């Protein structure tokens, strides 16, 4: 009987304890869900991270937004590329003006972009930046070379005439030719040159180039050096610009 009395008196107490444990656990779970933050107070729940992935409603605006960052091919043309190397080759020969360049293999960057090196007789390559846009074709964002480093303007900057230029370069007699182009045409709306170093090291340059009133909202700033041997383009730096 004593044992029986102890079991009856402990039953409700045990149930109360279990209920309290369940309540505390539920409150703890609710608190964790409602306060899933890191040490800086930033929300780290799965819902917040998924918001960085474009949804179907926003993806419809991607083609025009992506293509607006590209310098080649021209949007209004029928030229499109399904191969990144061919996109780089077309840019080098048809946009920049290289003559029979050596075009290297595609070097993967992220899942939709990468680089292709274009060379002439000189050892320094021109690196062409390519990207697979939302229309599933390859576009060129621009190019760069170690012999031409542009500090001003910056990529995608809004520019006006006269356009101030600064940076560092090395070239034959230090001369780097500059063209301002607007989308849809290889004919410059402004051109000039800057002078860097004619020696082994990069030398600073400053200058400006004036250009006529553009009829397009976007364009490109093209820096090229020429061979002293045959007058062909040696290398090219091309960057995206916008007009006010």
Pull the structure tokens for residue 144.
């760069």
What's residue 234's pLDDT? 95
What's residue 123's pLDDT? 73
Tens digit of each residue's pLDDT (9 = 90 or more) over 42-82: 333 333 332 222 222 223 333 456 899 999 999 999 999 99
The pTM of the full predicted model, rounded to 2 decimals, is 0.74
Query: Is 227 exposed, middle or buried, given 0-12, 13-18 or 19+ CB atoms closer than 10 A?
Result: middle
Pull the structure tokens for residue 66.
């992506």
The candidate with the shortest Cα–Cα distance to 83, out of 64, 103, 67, 99, is: 103
Please tell me the total number of residues recorded for the chain in this structure: 244
End-to-end CA distance of the chain, in Å? 97
What structural domains does the chain harbor?
2-50 (no CATH), 61-243 (2.60.40.2550)
Say what percent of the chain tops pLDDT 70: 73
Number of H helices, E strands in the chain: 5, 12
| Sheet strands side by side (includes 163-169) | 148-152, 163-169, 203-209
What's residue 60's pLDDT? 30
Tens digit of each residue's pLDDT (9 = 90 or more) over 123-156: 799 999 999 999 999 999 999 999 999 999 999 9
Interacting residues of 243 by C-beta distance below 8 A, sequence separation 6+: 158, 159, 160, 182, 214, 216, 217, 218, 219
Is residue 24's pLDDT more than 50? no
Tens digit of each residue's pLDDT (9 = 90 or more) over 156-190: 999 999 999 999 999 999 999 999 999 999 999 99
């Amino acid at each position: 009987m004593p044992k029986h009395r102890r079991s009856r008196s402990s039953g409700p107490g045990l149930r109360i304890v279990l209920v309290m444990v369940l309540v505390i656990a539920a409150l703890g779970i609710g608190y964790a869900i409602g306060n899933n933050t890191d040490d800086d107070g930033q929300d780290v729940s799965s819902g917040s991270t998924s918001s960085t992935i474009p949804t179907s409603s926003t993806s419809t605006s991607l083609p025009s937004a992506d293509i607006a960052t590209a310098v080649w091919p021209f949007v209004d043309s029928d030229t499109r590329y399904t191969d990144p190397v061919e996109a780089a080759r077309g840019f080098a020969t048809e946009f920049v003006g290289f003559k029979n360049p050596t075009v290297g293999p595609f070097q993967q960057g992220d899942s939709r972009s990468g680089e292709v090196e274009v060379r002439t007789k000189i050892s320094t390559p021109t690196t062409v930046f390519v990207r697979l846009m939302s229309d599933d074709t390859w576009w060129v964002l621009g190019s760069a070379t170690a012999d031409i480093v542009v500090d001003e303007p910056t990529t995608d900057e809004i520019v006006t005439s006269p356009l101030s230029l600064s940076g560092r370069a090395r070239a034959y007699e230090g001369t780097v030719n500059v063209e301002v182009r607007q989308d849809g045409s290889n004919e410059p709306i402004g051109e000039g040159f800057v002078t860097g170093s004619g020696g082994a090291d990069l030398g600073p340059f400053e200058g400006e180039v004036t250009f006529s009133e553009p009829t397009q909202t976007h364009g490109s700033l093209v820096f090229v050096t020429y061979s002293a041997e045959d007058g062909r383009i040696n290398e090219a730096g091309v960057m995206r610009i916008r007009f006010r």
